[in-house]
């Protein structure tokens, strides 16, 4: 059991020699999630003989005989103010809650959103009973959705649930389904995108595809409908990894940017935000081990666009 306010001394034996630092820490501290380990590196809680390590060291290979000193700090008290807001609850029990996030709302506090993030509303709704493993600014947050992406978001109410769900995401055992309205039509109509992704070399707020740099990202997709004017398509996407802006970048890489996406696609007069919706999450419940599927129906603004440009007979069976 990993306890707060304690120091652990971890020596690399032959079994773990040559693996990444973050993988080594995860194996030796199995109660710590990936996010928790990244936070510890970010805050200088992991040290070797040369001093404190940082997040940039997470991929370094550990060597036999190396000793790491890990300080586990007690969780910081939550400094965020609970703010009552109307939340669209898709599912809730004493371990998890699933929210239908509207487009335009940020998940956690950021510049310009210090009191209107989803986290503020969750703190009020859950009476501060949220996991702290993702840090005191992101209580309960297991995964994220972009500000202008709508749909199903899973939140952990306690640390046990958070660890269990984080492992499922890391092991690609959570099935994620998204709907995207794109320009033109993907070629081929169905396929798999597997590319490296990283920060854009010139625009740090954007992500880009690289031949060798960055992390591997994978999305499967299939085209479900084409518009009457053949200018747009409705695409079902199944991301296997969870990189920042992944689906948006992958569809743009195919030449089919998302309608309304001001960064990777093009704005559109009939859709004020990117036409991307997290439709369904299927996972194993962290305490009952039952299979759970949570569905968020396609939002009104995307449905209005589909009704404007697509034949109703092709859209109605999908929803």
Q: What digits encode the pLDDT tens for the residues 159-212? A: 999 999 999 999 999 999 999 999 999 999 999 999 999 888 888 789 999 877
State pLDDT tens for residues 266-308. Answer: 999 999 999 999 999 999 999 999 999 999 999 999 999 999 9
Q: Evaluate if residue 129 carries a pLDDT over 50.
A: yes
Q: Which residues contact 286 (CB under 8 A, 6 or more apart)?
A: 95, 96, 156, 160, 161, 164, 165
Arch. (CATH architecture) of 6-72: Roll (3.10)
From 22, 93, 95, 146, active-site residue? 146
All CATH 3.30.2350.10 domain ranges of the chain, comma separated, are 89-170, 175-318
DSSP readout, 18-46? TSBHHHHHHHHSTTS-HHHHHHHHHTT-E
DSSP symbol at 83: -
Arch. (CATH architecture) of 175-318: 2-Layer Sandwich (3.30)
Average pLDDT, integer, range 81-90? 95
Query: What's the token pair of residue 33?
Result: 């999630």
Nearest-angstrom CA–CA distance, 90 and 153: 9
All CATH 3.10.290.10 domain ranges of the chain, comma separated, are 6-72
Q: How confident is the model at residue 1 (pLDDT cuts 50, 70, 90)?
A: very low
Check: CB of residue 217 under 8 Å from CB of residue 241: yes
CATH H-level, domain 89-170: superfamily: Pseudouridine synthase (3.30.2350.10)
Q: Which residues contact 199 (CB under 8 A, 6 or more apart)?
A: 206, 207, 208, 214
Is 146 part of the annotated catalytic residue set?
Answer: yes
Residue 246, Cα to own-chain centre: how many angstroms? Answer: 10
């Amino acid at each position: 059991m990993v306890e707060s306010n304690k120091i652990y001394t971890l020596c690399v034996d032959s079994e773990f020699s040559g693996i990444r630092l973050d993988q080594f820490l995860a194996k030796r501290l199995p109660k710590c999630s990936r996010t928790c380990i990244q936070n510890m590196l970010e805050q200088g809680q992991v040290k070797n003989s040369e001093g404190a390590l940082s997040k940039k060291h997470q991929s370094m290979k550990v060597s036999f005989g190396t000793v790491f000193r890990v300080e586990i700090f007690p969780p910081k008290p939550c400094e965020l103010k609970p703010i009552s807001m109307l939340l669209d609850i898709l599912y809730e029990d004493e371990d998890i809650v699933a929210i239908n996030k509207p487009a335009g709302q940020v998940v956690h506090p950021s510049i310009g959103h210090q009191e209107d993030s989803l986290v503020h509303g969750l703190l009020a709704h859950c009476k501060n009973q949220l996991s702290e493993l993702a840090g005191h600014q992101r209580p309960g947050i297991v995964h994220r959705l972009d500000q202008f992406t709508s749909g199903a978001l899973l939140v952990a109410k306690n640390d046990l649930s958070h660890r269990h769900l984080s492992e499922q995401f890391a092991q690609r055992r959570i099935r994620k389904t998204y709907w995207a309205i794109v320009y033109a039509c993907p070629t081929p109509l169905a396929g798999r995108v597997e590319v490296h992704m990283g920060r854009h070399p010139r625009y740090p707020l954007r992500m880009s595809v690289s031949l060798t740099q960055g992390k591997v990202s994978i999305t499967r997709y299939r085209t479900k409908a084409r518009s009457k004017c053949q200018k747009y398509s409705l695409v079902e996407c199944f991301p296997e990894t969870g990189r920042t802006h992944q689906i948006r970048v992958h569809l743009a890489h195919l030449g089919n940017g998302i309608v309304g996406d001001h960064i990777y696609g093009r704005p559109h007069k009939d859709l004020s935000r990117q036409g991307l919706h997290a439709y369904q999450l299927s996972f194993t419940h962290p305490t009952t081990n039952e299979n759970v599927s949570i569905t968020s129906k396609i939002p009104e603004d995307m449905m209005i666009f589909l009704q404007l440009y697509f034949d109703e007979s092709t859209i109605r069976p999908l929803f």
